[in-house]
Amino acid sequence: FMSHCQSTDIGSTQSLILQLPIVAKYVLLASFLAAHNPPKSDAQMFSAEAGPRKKRRRTKKVSKEISTLLTGPKPFGLTRMLAIFDSIYHDMESCGQTVIHTLTSSLVRLKLLSQVQSTTRSDPFLRGLVLTCNVSLEDVRFLSDRMQLPLANYLYNP
């Protein structure tokens, strides 16, 4: 899936996304959620205590969903993305962290993610490797629809 990394066209981005291995697709979705949800919402959105019932009730109107996404992607730490990944991908034991780290590096090479420098080292959520997600809402909706993962259930809305 490395051959399409030069193009940023929506159709080719979606084509590239379709070629990703399933675990890489979940890493990309977790990265998008980490980049667009505030860290303070993680416990509410992704903890085991939140359970599927609460997640189902969080269906939002499109206008509210878009308003929370207008500020653009925020930097996020790899550890935080891994925690979100673990909550949406229910077979973490089968792939292991080494595979996820390798896939994350591949997504950076494909320019779907970018490695950034943290501006505030005092922020506990930005320790270690800091990334940002370069995938549009449209592309993530395309991916989540193909994966039958209800994106609105995982996007924070105050």
Express each pLDDT in 58-67 by its tens digit: 455 555 555 5
Which token pair is 147?
A: 């994966």
* Residue 158 placed within a domain: no
Between 101 and 60, whose confidence is greater?
A: 101
CA R_g for the chain: 15
Cα–Cα distance, 101 to 116 (Å, whole number): 16
* Residue 66 placed within a domain: yes
Total domains, the chain:
1
- The domain in which residue 128 lies consists of 2-153
Express each pLDDT in 114-151 by its tens digit: 999 765 555 655 567 899 999 999 999 999 999 999 99
**What is the model's pTM?**
0.76
